[in-house]
Structure 1
Amino acid sequence: MFYVKHTWIAVGALFAALAVAIGAFGAHGLEGIVSSSMLENYETGVQYHMFHALGIIAVGLFATHQGVNGRLQAAALFMSVGIVIFSGSLYVMALTNMTWLGAITPIGGVSFIAGWVFLLVAALKR
């Protein structure tokens, strides 16, 4: 049987695989095509994408030990939303030069922070 706790491990693994693929595309396909500052933004997106994919996997592993609860669910959800908004906006900005997307990037950053805070609270409330 496939449990919710395993879902977060699978989601994290999928996000991690995407981070590797997106990073490889940037490293091999964008150099010389986009400006160095946009390539830096793209690489920042990849780094935070991978960090938080691993965070989501950690939530799933923690859930296998502690059991699934709302705090862990919120942690994984906020990290997932952060990947989409923070990293996604940096990817699109680098590829399209739509710099106005930088205005939404911090929303993803706040989502990352919220995810880690929910994981912290879950760990302290064991």
Structure 2
Amino acid sequence: MARLWLGLGALGGLLSVALGAFGAHALRGRVAEDLIATWGTATTYLGMHAIALLVCGLLVLQRPGLRLVTAAAWAFLIGTLLFSGSLVILVLTGTRAWGALTPFGGLALILAWGLLAAGAWRELR
């Protein structure tokens, strides 16, 4: 399981940098400025939560069987896909309805941080 979180965390970091550069160079002048800001939010959250997945992976690597930390990693993954993914699709398609998924991603990310805190408190004694 640790390999999954470490690999996905690294992939998330890669995508965060690549998509950030794409937004800074390829999207300027092609989409509205408010959508450039939305793109920036998507890539920032992607990068931040890629690091969170790496932390979960390192914890699970050291102590396999950390149920709350593993649950946090799943919630980080789902939250990032919904939050950042919906914003990226919104910007690329111009279909604002994709923004309806974003709050669900945000809730999953809040849950993930809570699970990680609970895991640190209860499982890492």
Q: Flag structure 1 segments of 5+ consecutive residues without an equivalent.
A: none
Q: SS of the residue aligned with 2:14?
A: helix
| Distance in 2 between residues matched to 1:52 and 1:120, nearest whole Å | 15
Q: Flag structure 2 segments of 5+ consecutive residues without an equivalent.
A: none
2:108 to 108, 111, 115: 111
- What is the root-mean-square deviation in Å for CA atoms of aligned residues? 1.0
Q: Deviations over 1:71-114 (max 9, x none)?
A: 11111111111111100111111111111111110000001111
Q: SS of the residue aligned with 1:83?
A: helix
Matches within 5 A, 1:1-126: 4-125=1-122, 126=124
Q: Deviations over 1:39-91 (max 9, x none)?
A: 10011000000000000001111222333322111111111111111001111
The one-letter code sitting in structure 1 at the alignment partner of 2:82 is I
Q: SS of the residue aligned with 1:116?
A: helix
| Distance in 1 between residues matched to 2:18 and 2:114, nearest whole Å | 28
The one-letter code sitting in structure 1 at the alignment partner of 2:81 is V
- Structure 2 vs 1, CA of residues 68 and 6 (structure 1 numbering), >3 Å: closer, same or farther? farther
TM-score (norm 1): 0.92
| Distance in 1 between residues matched to 2:2 and 2:65, nearest whole Å | 6
TM-score (norm 2): 0.93
Q: SS of the residue aligned with 1:92?
A: helix
